[in-house]
Amino acid sequence: MPVIEISNLRKRYGETVAVADVSFTVDSGEIFGILGPNGAGKTTTVELLSGLRRRDGGTVRVLGKDPDRDGAELRELVGVQLQESELPERIRVSEALELYSTFYREPADWRELLDVLGLSGRRNARFGTLSGGQRQRLSIALALVGDPQVAVLDELTTGLDPAARRDTWALIESVRNRGVTVVLVTHFMDEAERLCDRVAVIDAGRTVAVDTPAALVAKVQAEHGLDRATLEDAYLALTGHEIGV
């Protein structure tokens, strides 16, 4: 059963067409990746499906609801981690999590999240004193504190060290094992290959492919007569680049 259905999505900012024609569906319990070059429209797409912006055209259904119309209901059910969104400088880690947990009718246990994300040792630290990776982990925790059915994570591992990335992957898998559908935007091909059941590749505001990482690799191998292509090769080919051998 699809949890997210997007077809022919369009959005422009003044003269800039950020999203020209994006379509994909995400099934229940899937980890779905969105890949694409800088400025391709990935963030805009997830903002539109989270109800943070209103679309100019196309249809969007999330858990059967329209984000432009049923935004209030969806905010209970969808947890969002935005690219470049901070907290007040002087708020403490535990304060932020406890505060955000009161925003939801049936929140997750924020203390457990603190442990799972390895932030227990920093619970009394002020946001302003956290490292980039710690901020990122807190941000993921805040997206999950409402115990959402869908988690939307924009560039969730950007700025994390390799160990923290692995930990975050494990976290995302455990979140999915609890039945949460995950949509993540990433620039890391290893991350997409390792985590995502399926990915959409967006280029210049259009979906150019939606498939499993393995199928995308198989296709580029067949088309270019390669025998050992990677997801990165497939990605580069799909976004209009020559692929070096």
Partner 1 sequence: MTTAVTRLTIVESKLFLRDTTSVVMGVAFPAVLLLLLGFAIPGFREATDDLDGLRPIDIYVPIVLAMAICTTSVSVLPTYLATYRERGVLRRLATTPVGPVRLLGAQLLVNGAGTLVAVALAVAVGTAAFGVDLPRQVPGFLIALVLGTAAMFAVGLLIAAVAPRAKTATGIGMLVYFPMLFFAGVWTPGPVMPDGLRRASDLTPLGAASQAMQDAWSGAFPSALHLAVMAGYLLLAGALAARFFRWE
Residues that bind Mg ion (CB under 5 A): 43, 83
Q: Which of 1, 38, 179, 242 binds ligand ATP (CB under 6 A)?
A: 38
Per rule CB under 6 A, count of chain residues that contact ligand ATP: 12
Which residues contribute to the site for partner 1 (CB under 8 A)?
50, 52, 72, 75-76, 78-80, 82, 84-88, 90-91, 95, 98-100, 102-105, 142, 146
Residue 168 makes contact with ligand ATP by CB under 6 A: no
Q: List the strands of the sheet with 2-13, edge to edge.
A: 57-62, 2-13, 16-27, 206-211, 198-203, 31-35, 181-185, 150-154, 78-81
Tell me how far, at minimum, the Cβ of 140 lies from partner 1, in Å.
12
Which token pair is 15?
Answer: 């003269």
145's torsion region: left (phi>0), alpha (psi -120 to 50) or beta? alpha
For residue 61, give the 3-state DSSP assignment: strand
Residue 16 binds which entry of Mg ion, ligand ATP, partner 1, none, with Cβ cut-offs from 5 to 8 Å by kind?
A: ligand ATP
Give the nearer residue to ligand ATP in terms of CB position, either 39 or 121: 39
Residue 18 binds which entry of ligand ATP, partner 1, Mg ion, none, with Cβ cut-offs from 5 to 8 Å by kind?
A: ligand ATP
Q: How far apart are CA 27 and CA 180, in angstroms?
A: 11
Tell me how far, at minimum, the Cβ of 210 lies from ligand ATP, in Å.
16
What does R_g of the chain's alpha carbons equal in angstroms?
18
Give the nearer residue to partner 1 in terms of CB position, either 13 or 241: 13
Distances (CA, A) of 214 to 158, 192, 218: 24, 11, 6
What are the φ/ψ torsions at residue 69 (nearest 5 degrees)? -105, -40
Residue 234 binds which entry of ligand ATP, partner 1, Mg ion, none, with Cβ cut-offs from 5 to 8 Å by kind?
A: none
Give the nearer residue to partner 1 in terms of CB position, either 100 or 188: 100
Tell me how far, at minimum, the Cβ of 96 lies from partner 1, in Å.
8
Write the CB contacts of 166 (distance below 8 Å, at least 6 apart in sequence). none
